[in-house]
Amino acid sequence: MARVSSESQHPDDSGLSRPGSGDLKSRVLGLDVGARRIGIAVSDPLGITAQGLETLERKNKRHDLAYLQQVIERYEVKEIVVGLPLRMSGAEGTQSEKMRAFAGDLAKRFNLPVHLFDERLTSAEANRFLRETELSIEKRGKAVDRMAAVLILQAWMESRALER
C-alpha cells in the first residue's frame, strides 16, 4: 500500500526510492494544488530537473484524478510530491489538512508514494518572476500554478540530492 510522507526543509529518508536511483524512468510528479487549479510539473527521468506541464482546471474529484492518472501513465511517474501549505511560522492550518487528505486520496488511487513538501513562498516567488513578463492576468494565473509546481518539485529533488 502506498503511503504519504510529510517533508519540510529537511525531509527524512523513509526508505522510499529516490528520484533517479537505479531506474532511468523514475519520474516524479509535482503538484501545486489550489481550489480552482492544479499546477503540474514532472521531473526528467534522472530526477534532476522539473518541467511544467499544462495547468489543470479543477472540476470535481473524479475528473481531477482521471486527468492526473493520464499524466502518471504518460510520464511513467513513480512518486508524487504535493505542496504542503504552511503558515510562515511553520504551523499547519486548514489548507494543510486539505492537502493531507488530497495526498491520501492520491496514494490510495495510484498506489504510489506521495510526499508532502513545504511550499511556503513558492507562489510568491513564481508571481514575482512572472510579473516581469508581459503575460495577461489570466495567463499569468495559470503560469503561476505551473511554475509553483516546478519550484516545489525542484526543491524536493534538490533536498533529496543533498541526502545522498
Kindly report whether the global pTM for this prediction surpasses the value 0.85: no
3-state DSSP helix/strand/coil % of the chain, to nearest 5: 40, 25, 35
Strand partners, 23: none
Per DSSP, the residues of 43-81 read E-TTSS-EEE-PPEEP--HHHHHHHHHHHHHHHTEEEEE
**Which homologous superfamily is 22-163 in?**
YqgF/RNase H-like domain (3.30.420.140)
In the chain, domain spans: 22-163
DSSP letter (8 states) at residue 39: E
Q: What is the pLDDT along the chain (164 residues), one digit of tens a residue?
A: 445 565 543 333 333 333 334 445 689 999 999 999 999 999 999 989 999 999 999 999 999 999 999 999 999 999 999 999 988 888 888 999 999 999 999 999 999 999 999 887 676 677 677 677 777 767 777 788 898 999 999 999 998 877 76
